[in-house]
Copies of this chain bind each other. A is one copy, B any other.
Amino acid sequence: MGEYCLTYKDVEEAVERIKPAAHVTPIMTSKTMDGLAGRELFFKCELFQKCGAFKFRGAYNALSKLVDNVEDRSGIKVVTYSSGNFGQALGLIARMKKIQAFVVMQNNTSQSKISAVEGYGAKVVFCEPGEKAKEAMKNKVAEEQDAIYISTSQNPDIIAGAGTLGIEILNQVPDLDAIVAPVSGGGMLAGICIAAKHIKPDIKIFAAEPLNADDCAKSFAAKKRIPLPDVPDTIADGLRASVGPNTWPIIKDNVEDVITVTEEQIVQAIKLMLERMKICVEPSACVAVAAVLSDKFKALPSSIKRVGIILSGGNLDLSKLSTWLR
């Protein structure tokens, strides 16, 4: 695995690094959900993580590595691009570590997400929607502020931090046959691959993706990385990015299959999580739930009995939730 940007040891080190700050999130189960899926499901509740999403793990690992041994941190600045969750986590941790964070966000981001990022003390810089505009603005801030760019999904320390999820879920449920995780830039999915495949080489890892943002599925079928041409239209607002150059080799080699779901399936999963499990799961995480309930997943061999599902976050706009529930 020398060709990857991180190793299992990096994930092990991340476990130690985040231990004082991150929650060990609980596993939830539901007989009703098991019945609907035809399998035993184990929901890894990262919606209960600090800042309401798994992003805290990677951000804490990366910033700790960056500054923990630096005495005078007054001049240290970091910049990232985020649709919301990563910006919140980076903002909070930058405040904890006494450094300055800049978060580039699209100018059409919902006010609640902007306020949340600002509430944690980060400075929000707006850009036009789209990959090019965000790249340009992120580079501009990095240059003008002399800020270190922390990629939400391609930075190896971020991937290692997210990978702690793989170690943690297998500590909690050692005999899983499979793990299903949503994919966007692929940081979490790649981190889980590195961790889980090391611990349990025969475990099967599945990626879950909105059909409306299916670059990973298309890349997987073509056996080469094909980023999305435009900003995709999906309610799973955390999954609008494309798999990147650092995560693709790991995903290509270690993921069993990519399962795509429609917007309607995502909404149904949100409702099921509220109604049956009494938890508020964001659309991007519900993509993994919808994948496990899909016909494609149901057609998989019955030897895949015990399935871990990464509920990656719980941050959503209540006014939008109101619309989806209607």
Instruction: Show the binding face of A for B, using Cβ within 8 Å.
Output: 26, 28, 47-48, 52, 271, 274-275, 278-281, 314, 318-319, 321-323, 325-326
What residue in chain B is nearest A275 (Cβ atoms)?
A: B318
A280: chain B residues within 8 A (beta carbon): 274-275, 278-280
CB distance from A211 to the nearest CB of B (A): 24
What residue in chain B is nearest A281 (Cβ atoms)?
A: B278
Q: Return the contact of A278 from the options B48, B322, B326 (Cβ within 8 A).
A: B48
Please state if B326 and A274 are interface contacts (CB–CB under 8 Å). no
A321: chain B residues within 8 A (beta carbon): 274, 322, 325
A274: chain B residues within 8 A (beta carbon): 280, 318, 321
* A interface majority secondary structure: helix
A26: chain B residues within 8 A (beta carbon): 26
CB distance from A314 to the nearest CB of B (A): 4
The distance in angstroms between the C-alpha atoms of A106 and B323, with both chains bound, is 29
What residue in chain B is nearest A30 (Cβ atoms)?
A: B48
Please state if A278 and B325 are interface contacts (CB–CB under 8 Å). no
The distance in angstroms between the C-alpha atoms of A261 and B48, with both chains bound, is 28
A318: chain B residues within 8 A (beta carbon): 271, 274-275, 325
27 CB contacts below 8 A, A to B, read: A26-B26, A28-B48, A47-B278, A48-B278, A52-B278, A274-B280, A274-B318, A274-B321, A275-B280, A275-B318, A278-B279, A278-B280, A278-B281, A278-B314, A279-B279, A279-B280, A280-B280, A318-B325, A319-B325, A319-B326, A321-B322, A321-B325, A322-B322, A322-B323, A322-B325, A322-B326, A325-B325
CB distance from A91 to the nearest CB of B (A): 15
The distance in angstroms between the C-alpha atoms of A325 and B318, with both chains bound, is 6
The distance in angstroms between the C-alpha atoms of A325 and B28, with both chains bound, is 26
CB distance from A318 to the nearest CB of B (A): 5
What residue in chain B is nearest A322 (Cβ atoms)?
A: B325
A271: chain B residues within 8 A (beta carbon): 318
A326: chain B residues within 8 A (beta carbon): 319, 322
* A271, A319, A321: most-surrounded residue (chain B CB, <10 A): A321
A319: chain B residues within 8 A (beta carbon): 325-326
A47: chain B residues within 8 A (beta carbon): 278
What 10 A-B pairs have minimum CB-CB distances, sorted nearest first? A278-B314, A322-B325, A278-B280, A47-B278, A274-B280, A318-B325, A322-B322, A322-B326, A271-B318, A321-B325
* A26, A281, A326: most-surrounded residue (chain B CB, <10 A): A326
